[in-house]
């Protein structure tokens, strides 16, 4: 019995050796670890076959795609069409021209389960291996297995860091924009593109980001960018984002290439809030006007940046009721619509305290003769010092105004 087996094996080996008359080269396209790309681009795998004999050879393809040594997909011999190479002929085949990948590929269950959550293959090595087998007998190897590997990994696109969301910047100083690098470290040249959009009146940051022409669009290889020196800064609200490009000008990243945008505002001077032109130049704010008793002309005006549009609108509608307390919200400018559905605010309080409670728990509280903490929506905390000294509205009782304001990005639960 052993004798027959040995003879059979010897015959097979000699057949195999005899049949290794086709040389195969495999060229892989650049893969990404995005699974759909991995399979889409597999169609562009180039197989160059050279018949080194004088006789025509008809073969079929047997191929498999490995990830880190585990087979994740396979092109089966029986699904592969016959191809013929004439003697001494060299032909190039694209995989998608040889087979219908959609039907021929068979997926490994565990791999499919892995990528189902993320849509990405884990970072690692993918390998395409190709064998050419005789069209009539799969045991006859026309060309031995030839493999090519490629390291694939997904990249974390940059994350915008500074200025932080809802930051208020002094217009007289140059802001620095900063972001995280692409990770893992990208070995080729990278360019980061920073785009800054102006939020126009009536827009929220999202719409500005999706709609407007960027007023700044600059590229740099560094991880920060100083506001371009030759571009003037105008008061208003802006959004900024960053994304990375490789040397072929392809954006880096998977499903998201842009960083999440951040908004910021330029104010002339936060302690000098009675800007005469604020209505046309400062966005993202409500304007609160302080009235002397019995007067219809505002004495002081204060902008509250980053407040809620819907709430602010409704507060404006309630302005007559707040006049008793010498506070009137008279103007609503382009408020970032961080939160829009607050419902109708409730105006309560008497005597020295007035409160405005919004549906989400945001509170406006004014205490006479002491510092007032005001919270509107979830994104703003404003501090106002003021005292009412009878006929003349003075914020500190000395005929002076004193307003300080500070935006707070922290959501307000209570």
Partner 1 sequence: MKRTSLQINIMELASSMWLNRNENCKLGVLFDFNFKIYLRMNKTLIILCFFSFVGSSVFSQDTTKVKKTKDKVKITGSVQITHDFYSLSGNDIGHLNARRPSNLSRLILTPTFSWKKVTLPIEFVLSSQATNVVTPASRFNDPYSIFSQIRSFQDLVNYVSNPINRVSMSPIFGKFRINLGTHTPNYSELVQGNISMFGAGYEYLGNKFFTSFSWGITQPSVNQDTLNNMIGAYRREQYAFRVGFGSLRKNYVAFNVTGGKDNMSSVDSPLRGVRAEQGIAGSLQYNFIIAKHFSWESEMALSILTDDLNAFEIDFKELGINIPNVFPLNLSTRADIAGSTALGFKKNNVKIYAKALYVGAGYKSFGFPFFQSDRLELTLNPQFSFAKNKWFVNGSAGTRTNNLSGTKSAPMNQFIANINVNGRITDDLNVNASYGNFGLRNSVINDTFRVENIAQNINFTPSYTWTHEKSIDLFLMSYSHDRFEDFNVLTGNISNNQSNIFLVSWNRTLNNLPFSVGLSYSNFQFNSSFLQLSNQSVNVNWGYNFFKKRLRTNYSIGRLLNKPESNVSNDRQWIASLGIDYRSKTKYGFGLRWNTNNYIYGSARPNARFNENTLRFNLSKQF
Residues 322 to 341: which contact partner 1 by CB under 8 A? 337-341
Residues 6+ apart with CB under 8 A from 35: 115, 119, 120, 121
Q: Does 162 bind partner 1 (CB under 8 A)?
A: yes
Query: At 8, phi and psi to the nearest 5?
Result: -60, -45
Q: What is the distance between the alpha carbons of residues 265 and 267, in angstroms, rounded to a whole number?
A: 6
Give the strands of the sheet with 160-162, arranged side by side. Answer: 160-162, 176-179, 224-226
Residue of 357, 365, 368, 389 interacting with partner 1 (CB under 8 A): 357
Report strand pairing: 262-267 vs 236-245: antiparallel
Local structure of residue 120 (DSSP, 8 states): B
Q: Does 149 bind partner 1 (CB under 8 A)?
A: no
Residue of 86, 150, 217, 295 interacting with partner 1 (CB under 8 A): 217
Q: Which two tokens stand for residue 35?
A: 């699974």
Q: Does 79 bind partner 1 (CB under 8 A)?
A: no
Give 237's strand partners: 265
Count of CB atoms situated within 10 Å of the CB of 21: 18
The mark string for 191-210 relative to partner 1 (x by CB under 8 A, - otherwise) is ---------xxxxxxxx-xx
Number of residues that bind partner 1 (CB under 8 A): 117
300-319: contacts with partner 1 (CB under 8 A): 317
85-124: contacts with partner 1 (CB under 8 A): 101-102, 105, 107, 109, 112-113, 115-123
Residue of 21, 51, 80, 259 interacting with partner 1 (CB under 8 A): 259
Q: Does 396 bind partner 1 (CB under 8 A)?
A: yes
361-390: contacts with partner 1 (CB under 8 A): 361, 370-371, 373, 383, 385
Residue of 161, 318, 349, 355 interacting with partner 1 (CB under 8 A): 161
20-49: contacts with partner 1 (CB under 8 A): 33, 35-36, 39-40
Instruction: Give the shortest CB-160-to-partner 1 separation in angstroms.
Output: 10
* 350-354-356 Cα angle (round to 5): 130
Nearer to partner 1, 87 or 202 (CB): 202
Q: What is the distance between the alpha carbons of residues 368 and 358, in angstroms, rounded to a whole number?
A: 21
Residue of 70, 247, 256, 352 interacting with partner 1 (CB under 8 A): 256
Give the strands of the sheet with 262-267, arranged side by side. Answer: 167-170, 262-267, 236-245, 191-198, 216-220
């Amino acid at each position: 019995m052993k004798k027959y087996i040995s003879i059979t094996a010897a015959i097979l080996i000699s057949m195999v050796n005899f049949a290794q008359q086709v040389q195969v080269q495999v060229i892989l396209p650049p893969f990404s670890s995005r699974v759909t790309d991995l399979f889409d681009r597999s169609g562009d795998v180039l197989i160059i076959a050279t018949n080194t004999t004088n006789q025509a050879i008809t073969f079929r393809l047997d191929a498999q795609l490995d990830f880190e040594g585990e087979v994740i997909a396979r092109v089966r011999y029986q699904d592969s069409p016959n191809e013929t190479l004439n003697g001494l002929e060299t032909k190039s085949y694209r995989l998608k021209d040889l087979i219908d990948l959609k039907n021929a590929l068979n997926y490994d269950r565990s791999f499919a389960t892995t990528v189902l959550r993320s849509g990405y293959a884990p970072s690692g090595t993918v390998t395409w291996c190709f064998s050419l087998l005789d069209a009539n007998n799969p045991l006859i190897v026309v060309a031995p297995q030839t493999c090519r590997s490629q390291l694939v990994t997904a990249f974390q696109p940059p994350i915008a860091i500074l200025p932080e969301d809802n930051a208020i910047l002094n217009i007289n100083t140059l802001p620095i924009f900063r972001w995280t690098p692409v990770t893992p470290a990208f070995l080729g040249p990278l360019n980061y593109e920073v785009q800054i959009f102006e939020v126009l009146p009536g827009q929220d940051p999202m719409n500005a980001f999706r709609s407007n022409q960027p007023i700044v669009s600059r590229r740099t290889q560094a991880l920060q960018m100083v506001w371009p020196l030759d571009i003037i800064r105008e008061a208003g609200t802006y959004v900024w984002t960053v994304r990375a490009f490789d040397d072929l000008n392809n954006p880096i990243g998977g499903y998201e290439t842009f960083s999440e945008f951040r908004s910021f505002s330029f104010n002339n001077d936060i302690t000098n809030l009675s800007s005469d032109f604020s209505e046309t130049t400062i966005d993202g704010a409500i304007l609160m006007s302080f009235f002397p008793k019995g007067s219809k002309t505002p004495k002081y005006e204060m902008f509250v940046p980053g407040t809620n549009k819907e709430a602010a609108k409704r507060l404006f509608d309630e302005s007559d009721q707040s006049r008793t307390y010498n506070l009137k919200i008279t103007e609503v400018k382009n408020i970032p619509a961080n939160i829009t559905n607050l419902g109708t605010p409730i105006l309560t309080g008497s005597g020295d305290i007035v409160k405005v409670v919004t549906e989400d728990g945001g509170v406006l509280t004014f205490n006479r003769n002491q510092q007032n903490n005001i919270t509107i929506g979830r994104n703003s905390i404003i501090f106002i010092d003021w005292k009412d000294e009878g006929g003349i509205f003075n914020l500190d009782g000395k005929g002076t105004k004193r307003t300080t304001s500070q935006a707070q990005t922290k959501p307000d639960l209570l």
